[in-house]
Amino acid sequence: MTTKRALTVLATAAAAVLTVTTTMTSTAAPARTAACTGYVGLTFDDGPSGTTTRLLDALRRNGLRATMFNQGQHAAANPSLVRAQVAAGMWVANHSYTHPHLTRLSQAQIDSEISRTQQAVRNAGGGTPRLFRPPYGETNATVKSVAARHGLTEILWHVDSQDWNGASSDAIVRSTARLTDGQIILMHDGPANTLAAVPRIAQGLASRGLCAGMISPQSGRAVAPG
Ligand SMILES: [Zn+2]
């Protein structure tokens, strides 16, 4: 057995042990740092919603942390769910207020979409977001500059789970298998197939020594939780 292979086996064994520990304690989101050879950014857009509580439960039970790109209008309507996201160890981010096609709006309208969302998340107790994802991934120089003025780093994705497009749980799990260290995947707070995929997403990442990380506002990539 080569050294590299031996290390992989050790990492897998460590991940398995940590998974068992997680199942038994089920308290705060555990840090699997001992077994992490890399980090990926799991992201869930368009909440908080009627599925947020179940999504947070699934993520916690499976030892995963994620970045929640909330719509400001939903944060304003469900402030307790924003606090629940934070309490579950998630990172709360800005996904515009009403989910418009920002590139069709004036600079003032773009500013309103972004600033009202910052305010709604802050008012809900979610802190001040540092990350921004434009709806539909549609951006341009004006969108970027307005986001930057609010101290936000624009984050798109490396892998699209297609969960918004009716992807099956199997397909969503397969899409997470394409993630490599530092990369980010697009998912949503809503689809039942996404919720159902969470345990197998966790198992697949652990088997590859990958852990769910935070997205760095500096690099725009997934890194170890700070
Ligand atoms: Zn969206």
Catalytic residues: 45, 188
Cβ neighbors of 28 (< 8 A, separation 6 or more) are 60, 89
According to the model, what pLDDT value does residue 93 have? 99
pLDDT at res. 34 = 58
Number of domain units in the chain: 1
Full domain range(s) for residue 12:
3-25+33-223
What residue has token string 């910052």? 118
Q: For the residues of 114-131, what is the DSSP string, one character each?
A: HHHHHHHHHHHT-----E
State the CATH number of the domain containing residue 43: 3.20.20.370
56-86 residues labelled b (16+ CB within 10 A) or e (exposed) = bebbbebbbbbbbbbbbbbbbebbebbebbb
C-beta separation of 225 from 31 below 8 A: yes
What SS3 class is residue 16?
helix
Residue 87 C-alpha to ligand 1 middle, in angstroms?
Answer: 23
* Residues, beta carbon < 5 Å, ion ligand 1: 45-46, 135
How far is the centre of ligand 1, averaged over its atoms, from the C-alpha of 135 (Å)?
5
Strand, coil or helix: what is 59?
A: helix
User: What's residue 24's pLDDT?
Assistant: 41
Helix (H) or strand (E) run with residue 212 in it: strand 210-212
Q: What pLDDT was estimated at residue 32? A: 45
- Give me 59's structure tokens: 């993520």
Give the pLDDT score at 22.
Answer: 40
- Dump strand ranges (E) for 65-152: 67-70, 91-94, 131-132
pLDDT number for residue 23: 39
From ligand 1's centre to the CA of 2, what distance in Å?
45
Averages of pLDDT over runs of 10 residues in the chain (226 residues) are: 41 43 43 76 98 98 98 98 98 98 98 98 98 98 98 98 98 98 98 98 98 98 95
Q: How many Å lie between the centroid of ligand 1 and the Cα of residue 117?
A: 13
